């Protein structure tokens, strides 16, 4: 099939490269040349393990292309997958500007290019959008901008479940493949496109598919806050809540996976906080209280404050912050709790030096370099290229990454005190004098 992928960020890049690897003719489109240019040279525009290699193979095989021109992508294309951002607005609602714009771009391009052989083109949202978006945003745009002769459109929602840092593995082994559509032609097209995945394609009502991703992210966030609250209270009783959670997951009546149930630091990143805010905004719009989910967000916000309080309660003003992105193996800094932690400590007059194996001065490129320069210039000044440099003279290390270079540096140059925000630094680091867990 010829597939156009709109938006080449974390989701779009992985989607484009994986579909090209599966033999499709894939055209990625982005308005940002910092995303398009690396792909045309066979490199990934985002940091994701294995993605550079997959992109290089796709480009070399002539199956993966990137462009800023929607017409090149739409020409004879069977499917458009929309993977643009859906950020929070100040009120917590979901900003659908990029979705609307992408649909307008597709509709405009379809008036000037050749239709696919079947004459039918599926427009599929993979971004996370509130229930009703396909009906109330996508539908009206297509009604205003009908396609040219021989082109017919159908629409669907097909949520994406990959996680940054394990994006390729997650793409090829999703928890489920759900297509929300009322149009059987789109259902068939996507069953063909995703038929190679190990899970069957389940065709459901559009709004069910739109709501599903919010249910998943709200539950993941609630699991993190639950485990963190267990850790925060039982720590006062010298309990290792990691062990409590390990046993807890063995309760077969719960039938619950251990993912997201490790006591430790706050959740962050570009999805969980944003999607929780979005659900809470939907509740406000409908005069409905959701105290459980409101509490999940509030509980998460307390974690950074707790860690700051623990730093302030101890001696020393020199802090090494090891790990800046919201988790290991990604360069995504959006809503990273480590960024928040750094800012609060700097605001309190601490001397903070930061090391992150991916977000470091010698590796920052493209869109992420622009993000650091424009949004975090105060942190850029204290970013180092070397974990040992960050630890030099440090009274305290705050560690939110499991990166092996960081673990080695800690073992060779242990500071007086180490607070393990990751919960997974291993027995050698846990044996260091001055080691502290967050929830144990």
Binding region for ligand NAD (CB under 6 A)? 6-12, 29-32, 35, 83-86, 98, 101-102, 105, 127-128, 160, 162-164, 270-271
The minimum distance between CB 178 and ligand NAD, in angstroms, equals 13
The minimum distance between CB 70 and ligand NAD, in angstroms, equals 7
Helix (H) or strand (E) holding 397: strand 396-399
- Based on CB atoms, which residue is closest to ligand NAD, 197 or 411? 197
Would residue 158 show up in a list of annotated catalytic residues for this protein?
no
Do 142 and 208 form a contact (C-beta atoms < 8 A)? Answer: no
The minimum distance between CB 302 and ligand NAD, in angstroms, equals 24
For residue 179, report the phi and psi dihedrals to the nearest 5 degrees. Answer: -120, 120
**DSSP-assigned beta bridge partners for residue 4:** 27, 80
Q: Are strands 201-204 and 318-322 parallel, antiparallel or unpaired?
A: unpaired
- Based on CB atoms, which residue is closest to ligand NAD, 101 or 392? 101
- Based on CB atoms, which residue is closest to ligand NAD, 105 or 210? 105
Closest CA to 390 of 349, 361, 367: 361
The minimum distance between CB 173 and ligand NAD, in angstroms, equals 15
Interhelix angle 33-40/10-21, nearest 10 degrees: 30
- Based on CB atoms, which residue is closest to ligand NAD, 241 or 330? 330
The minimum distance between CB 170 and ligand NAD, in angstroms, equals 9
Q: How far is CA 52 from CA 40, 43, 55, 63, 278, in A?
A: 12, 5, 5, 15, 33
CA gap 227, 231 in Å, rounded? 6
- Based on CB atoms, which residue is closest to ligand NAD, 128 or 155? 128
Burial grade of 174 (CB within 10 A; 0-12, 13-18, 19 or more)? middle
The residue written with tokens 């992508």 in the block is 73
Catalytic site residues? 271
């Amino acid at each position: 099939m010829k597939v156009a992928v709109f938006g080449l960020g974390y989701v779009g890049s992985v989607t484009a490269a994986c579909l090209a690897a599966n033999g499709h003719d894939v055209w990625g489109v982005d308005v940002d040349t910092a995303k398009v240019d690396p792909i045309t040279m066979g490199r990934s525009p985002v940091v994701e393990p294995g993605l550079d290699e997959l992109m290089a193979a796709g480009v070399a095989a002539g199956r993966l292309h990137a462009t800023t021109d929607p017409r090149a992508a739409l020409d004879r294309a069977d499917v458009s997958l929309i993977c643009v951002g859906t950020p929070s607005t100040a009120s917590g609602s979901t900003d659908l500007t990029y979705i609307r714009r992408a649909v307008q771009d597709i509709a405009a391009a379809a008036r000037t290019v050749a239709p696919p052989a079947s004459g039918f083109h599926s427009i599929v949202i993979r971004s996370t959008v509130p229930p009703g978006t396909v009906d109330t945003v996508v539908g009206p745009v297509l009604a205003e901008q009908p396609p040219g002769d021989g082109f017919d459109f159908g629409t669907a929602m097909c949520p994406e479940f990959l996680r940054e840092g394990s994006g390729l593995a997650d793409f090829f082994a999703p928890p489920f493949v759900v297509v929300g559509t009322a149009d059987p032609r789109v259902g068939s097209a996507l069953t063909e496109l995703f038929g190679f995945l190990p899970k069957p394609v389940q065709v459901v009502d559009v709004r069910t598919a739109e709501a599903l991703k919010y249910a998943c992210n709200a539950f993941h966030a609630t699991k993190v806050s639950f485990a963190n609250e267990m850790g925060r209270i039982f720590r006062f009783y010298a309990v290792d809540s990691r062990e409590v959670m390990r046993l807890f997951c063995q309760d077969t009546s719960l039938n619950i996976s251990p993912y997201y149930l490790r006591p430790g630091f706050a959740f962050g990143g570009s999805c969980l906080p944003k999607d929780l805010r979005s659900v809470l905004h939907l509740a406000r719009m409908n005069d409905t209280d959701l105290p459980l989910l409101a509490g999940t967000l509030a509980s998460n916000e307390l974690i950074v404050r707790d860690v700051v309080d623990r730093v302030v309660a101890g001696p020393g003003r020199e802090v090494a912050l090891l790990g800046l992105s919201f988790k290991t193996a990604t360069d995504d800094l959006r809503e990273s709790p480590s960024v928040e932690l750094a800012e609060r400590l700097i605001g309190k007059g601490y001397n903070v030096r930061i090391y992150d194996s991916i977000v470091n001065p010698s590796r920052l490129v493209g869109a992420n370099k622009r993000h650091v320069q424009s949004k975090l210039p105060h942190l850029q000044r204290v970013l180092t290229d070397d974990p040992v440099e960050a630890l030099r003279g440090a009274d305290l290390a705050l560690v939110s990454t499991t990166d092996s270079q960081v673990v080695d540096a800690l073992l060779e140059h242990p500071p007086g005190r180490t607070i393990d925000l990751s919960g997974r630094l291993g027995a050698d680091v846990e044996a260091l004098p001055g080691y502290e867990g967050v929830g144990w």
